[in-house]
Amino acid sequence: MPRHFLKDDDLTSAEQKEVLELALALTEDRFARRPFAGPRTVAVLFDKSSTRTRVSFATGIVELGGSPLVIEAGASQMGRGESIADTTRVLTRQVSAIVWRTFGQERIEEMASVATVPVINALTDEYHPCQILADLLTIAQRTGGLADGDQALAGRSMAYLGDGANNMAHSYLLGGAVAGMDVRIAAPATHRPDPAVLARAEEIAAATGGSVLVTDDPVAAVAGVDAVLTDTWVSMGQEDEKSARDADLFGAYAVTDELMARAGETAVFLHCLPAYRGKEVAASVIDGPASVVWDEAENRLHAQKALMTWLVDHPDDATAPHALERSAS
Ligand code: CP
Ligand code: NVA
């Protein structure tokens, strides 16, 4: 049975570090690994818009020796009602991995329950775990790399400001906790993380030495942190709420120069992109010296290549205990 990557804690702390170390190595020697040589085909399905995810998976699969098959899911028979299970059975007879950007997490979980090849979450309403791997790689590059100890990210801190209930907030909580980081989420009381995700992040942090804080105070959240993070106030699928998701609700959480000045002296600014200047981030911050957003966007390529290589290298671990149990044992 294959290993899948559906959310951030599908990798243990040690496994996440292996993936990040491989990603770092691939930044130095881009064509070092060829797990899809043949070429083997990887299906990349989109139910939502994408620029970075589309380009980085397609490019990465080619660089790993394979052939990407990018499918607009709405234009496939799924768009006319063919079931996820039947679609997955057809795909897994032919391709070597499936990457899917979709809506509810239960959709990709259903796919993974049927798939005989690795399934990778390229963003759901609940999680965006590939983005967090790229972000952790970016933070590691800027705060001493991964080579200076067993867990170079452990003890580092990051503060995410804005919609605390979206996919990025949830993935920062889980992925940051797996990395042993100090993760802080500042959001209005109406848009806090899912309590179940928060509880899971707290459980993981207790095992990895990390910590988790959710607050409505953006100033307290950014105090002294290594990285300040934000995301759009209107995620894909929330377009109907656009007028309500504006500065009246989230304005206090916009990343400004004043807030960046309260972060650590060498703090970096990250944004998964696309960004809306003058909304969740000031132009002077995202276009300023602390911003590492273009490295972050490039790191999608390296992180996902490492993830795909790692999953191909670890095909038979489906019976292993869950991530937390593995990290605790
Ligand atoms: N950050 C990110 O996933 O970008 P896209 O929506 O353009 O893929
Ligand atoms: N939270 C955003 C992330 C985009 C990459 C969304 O889901 O639209």
Specify whether 314 is catalytic: no
Q: What is the per-residue pLDDT for 146?
A: 63
Specify whether 105 is catalytic: no
- Which residue's alpha carbon is nearest to atom 1 within ligand 1? 272
CA distances (Å), origin 155, targets 152, 182, 202: 8, 6, 15
How far is Cα 234 from Cα 293, in angstroms, rounded to an integer?
Answer: 19
Which of 51, 166, 167 maximizes ligand 1 atoms within 8 Å of its Cβ, making it the mutation to test the pocket? 51
- Which residue's alpha carbon is nearest to atom 1 within ligand 2? 235
Closest CA to 127 of 107, 113, 151: 107
Specify whether 29 is catalytic: no
Specify whether 257 is catalytic: no
Which listed residue (3, 33, 47, 131) is catalytic? Answer: 131
Is 182 touching ligand 2 by the criterion CB < 6 Å? no
Q: Work out the average pLDDT over 226-236.
A: 98
Q: What is the pLDDT of residues 116-168, one digit of tens each?
A: 999 999 999 999 999 999 999 999 999 875 655 555 799 999 999 999 999 99
Q: What is the per-residue pLDDT for 84?
A: 98
Specify whether 272 is catalytic: yes
Q: What is the per-residue pLDDT for 147?
A: 56
Is 52 touching ligand 1 by the criterion CB < 6 Å? yes
Atom of ligand 2 minimally distant from the CA of 235:
8
Is 230 touching ligand 2 by the criterion CB < 6 Å? no
Distance 124 CA to ligand 1 centre (A): 12
Q: What is the per-residue pLDDT for 168?
A: 98
Residue type, 220: A
Six-digit token string for 325? 């149990």
- Which residue's alpha carbon is nearest to atom 7 within ligand 1? 51
Q: Across all residues in the chain, what is the average pLDDT?
A: 94
Q: What is the per-residue pLDDT for 324?
A: 42
Which listed residue (231, 271, 302, 304) is catalytic? Answer: 231
Q: What is the pLDDT of residues 276-289, one digit of tens each?
A: 999 999 999 999 99
Closest CA to 265 of 227, 231, 295, 230: 227
Q: Is the pLDDT of residue 321 over 80?
A: no
How far is Cα 133 from Cα 10, in angstroms, rounded to an integer?
Answer: 12
Distance 271 CA to ligand 1 centre (A): 10
Share of the chain above pLDDT 90, in %: 92
Residue whose tokens read 């380009």: 55
Q: What is the per-residue pLDDT for 326?
A: 43
Is 236 touching ligand 2 by the criterion CB < 6 Å? yes
Q: Which residues contact 197 (CB under 8 A, 6 or more apart)?
A: 126, 170, 173, 174
Q: Is the pLDDT of residue 322 over 80?
A: no
Q: What is the per-residue pLDDT for 315?
A: 86
Q: What is the per-residue pLDDT for 295?
A: 98
Q: What is the pLDDT of residues 183-225, one digit of tens each?
A: 999 999 999 999 999 999 999 999 999 999 999 999 999 999 9
Q: Is the pLDDT of residue 77 over 70?
A: yes
Specify whether 128 is catalytic: yes
- Model confidence at 1, pLDDT cuts 50, 70, 90, reads confident
Ligand nearest to the CA of 54: 1
Q: Which residues contact 214 (CB under 8 A, 6 or more apart)?
A: 164, 184, 185, 186, 187, 192, 193, 198
Q: Is the pLDDT of residue 320 over 90?
A: no
